[in-house]
Structure 1
Amino acid sequence: MNNSQLIYVYDPMCSWCWGFQKCWQKIQDALANEVDIIYKVGGLAADSEQPMPVSMQQFLQQTWQRIGQQTGAKFNFDFWQNCQPRRSTYPACRAVIAARYFNKERVMLGAIQQGYYLSAQNPSDLNTLVSCAQQIGIAADEFLAILQSEQLEQAFQQELAYVQQLPVQGFPSLVLCHKQQYFAIAVNYTNANAVISTIHCILAD
């Protein structure tokens, strides 16, 4: 255990989080021995069965293009033809918390992101989330039992409430807890060293 924590606030279906992934990995590698790295879901969009409006679909496709140009992240635009998009990320958020019970939150996040952005699968759908769980070695029945439990829903709601108390303005966000103070760390999508230097300056204080 370290004296300080670096809290990563994310949503599995946040495209900017996908764009940040490579840079974030470098940050984790550099700081792993200096801070405890904590993952928390932010909950981008509540449960919904309504089809995503066409205007929102067009906006998100433009966002994917911009993120790809800025960060080099890859996107499979077949998603918009092959799937029925919904503005609903809470199911994916619950899924990574469920995977946490198996100590597999981070690999579940990776499976969801790759399924969504590279394989044109829809993480708003339960069958996609079950498939991701099976890919990382979690039995479907065990995963579903936790995913659909009241215990998990309580944990999810508590996590959303906790994140709302942090200095977070969007996803992804980084928050450093050092000497009982919380510091919002500016996210840089292409320069991991800039983020690392900022954190080192605070830790040195």
Structure 2
Amino acid sequence: MTAARLYYVHDPMCAWCWGYKPTLETLERLLPSHISLVYLLGGLAADSDIAMPEEMQAFIQHNWQKIASMLGTQFNFDFWQINQPRRSTYPANRAVLAAKQQGAEKAMIVAVQQAYYLEAKNPSNLSVLSGLAEDLDLDLEKFKADIGSAKLNADLLNEIQFARSMPIQGFPSLVLKKDGHYHSVALDYKNAQVSLEHIHQLLA
């Protein structure tokens, strides 16, 4: 079989990515061994210290309710009462890259999602991300140095640019690389078989 690469384009603070998580895990288990799955950060919202406008807060809360209703995903709405939200996901993206340097990419993605959606913590804050790194038993000094480094930020911007050059429809998206060409893969939030069948068709 020809080796192929499946890109999962996501953001750890994307609510639809959180909703898709169980189906993604199923897809990972079902993927043939000749297809490697690569997580690719898409960078939902750039760095910002500005408080999120109330209209945007209301829109995102409505989105959470929609996802919970559609997929049964859990959300802790206390987040909106006990935090001052900012439209800023790049810090969490950098945390994933910093954790990846220590072999904990997926562990950090899950930690950010659980902190944000279940524990009502704000992953836009470096203090929260450092706490997650500590919980994951990462080298905390290295993590802090990496997450604040110009090199890692440049790596993130390059990854975001690469992700946005692909045939994606927002986050999450699946893209199959075959023979140097990139193909958008059908994604169903409830059924991994939809993506799997499309991948087999693309590789046929």
Q: TM-score, normalised by structure 2?
A: 0.97
Partner of 2:188: 188
How far the C-alpha of 1:32 sits from its partner, in A, is 5.2
Sequence identity, in percent?
Answer: 43
SS of equivalent to 1:182:
strand
Alignment of 1:98-117 (within 5 A): 98-117=98-117
- Which stretches in structure 2 are left out of the alignment for 5+ residues? none
Distance in structure 1 (CA, Å) of the matches to 2:70 and 2:198: 21
- Which stretches in structure 1 are left out of the alignment for 5+ residues? none
How far the C-alpha of 1:111 sits from its partner, in A, is 0.2
| Cα deviation digits, residues 11-51 of structure 1 (max 9, x gap) | 01000000000000000110051311101100000100000
Partner of 2:157: 157
Distance in structure 1 (CA, Å) of the matches to 2:35 and 2:107: 20
Distance in structure 1 (CA, Å) of the matches to 2:184 and 2:59: 28
| Cα deviation digits, residues 123-144 of structure 1 (max 9, x gap) | 0000110011111111321110
Q: CA RMSD for the aligned pairs?
A: 1.0
Q: Which amino acid aligns with 1:24?
A: L
How many residue pairs match? The answer is 203
Q: Which amino acid aligns with 1:199?
A: I
Distance in structure 2 (CA, Å) of the matches to 1:62 and 1:154: 34
Distance in structure 2 (CA, Å) of the matches to 1:140 and 1:103: 14
Alignment of 1:47-126 (within 5 A): 47-126=47-126
Q: Which runs of 4+ in 1 moved over 6 A?
A: none
| Cα deviation digits, residues 163-185 of structure 1 (max 9, x gap) | 12111120001000112221101
Distance 1:7 1:54, change over 3 A: same
| Cα deviation digits, residues 67-94 of structure 1 (max 9, x gap) | 0111111000000001110000010011
